[in-house]
Chains A and B, each alone.
Chain A
């Protein structure tokens, strides 16, 4: 069975600081990987996704993620955060055989102005 682990539950940082959120998954086959963001009071929106090819994926709003197959990781990064990046971030994975997503527990990020 698929599983996703996000090790950081809460992250607090100041504007302009760099952000890295960890995501590890367990799945034996080919995977699709996703990062979703949920702004306060809103629904989940896709930040970026990885299917194949270049393991460094660029997403919206300056976010990027790197797929490291040997580590089963798909960490999310942003070089310089803004107050508006305050949100909860979810990593998700699905096996290529279907499109049922397995989500991690989420990481709440608070960016102090």
Chain B
């Protein structure tokens, strides 16, 4: 049963610390998405990659957030330095462009910045 995995599932950190979240897309999927979900803003697309190249990162605060795909099996989202307003659930999703363009979501990383 192929699924997207994310680590860590929960992260509590202090303001100013660096946070790295990891995502393993479903094998064979070449598109990876990072979303942030908060009560106030709902589900926001931060960035997405195709074939490891960033296609759109316009939703991401550039000064503190960075997203990379070191290889086809790993995507990372880094926040440095973290701030309390970054507290949210961060979801990774993967997909493969085709007829349905469906995205498969991971379980999320719940981040709390104190």
Q: Which residues of A contact B (CB under 8 A)?
A: 32, 34, 36, 42-46, 49, 51, 90, 94, 96, 98-103, 105-106
B15-59: CB near A (< 8 Å → 1, else 0) gives 000000000000000010100000000110100100000011000
Q: When A99-B31, A103-B42 are in contact, do A49 and B107 touch as well, CB less than 8 Å? A: no
Q: Residue of A at shortest CB range from B4?
A: A43
Q: Is the CB of A42 within 8 A of B107?
A: yes
Q: Residue of A at shortest CB range from B91?
A: A43
Q: Which residues of B contact A (CB under 8 A)?
A: 31, 33, 42-43, 45, 48, 55-56, 91, 93, 95, 97, 99-108
Chain A residues with Cβ below 8 Å from B104 are 46
Q: Is the CB of A99 within 8 A of B106?
A: no
**Can you name 18 extra interface pairs (CB under 8 A) apart from A43-B91, A43-B108, A100-B56?**
A32-B100, A34-B102, A36-B105, A43-B105, A44-B105, A49-B100, A49-B102, A90-B43, A98-B97, A98-B101, A99-B31, A99-B101, A100-B33, A100-B45, A101-B33, A101-B45, A102-B45, A103-B43
Kindly provide the distance from the CB of A103 to the nearest chain B CB, expressed in whole angstroms. Answer: 5
- Contact partner of A51 among B31, B45, B100, B107, CB < 8 A? B100
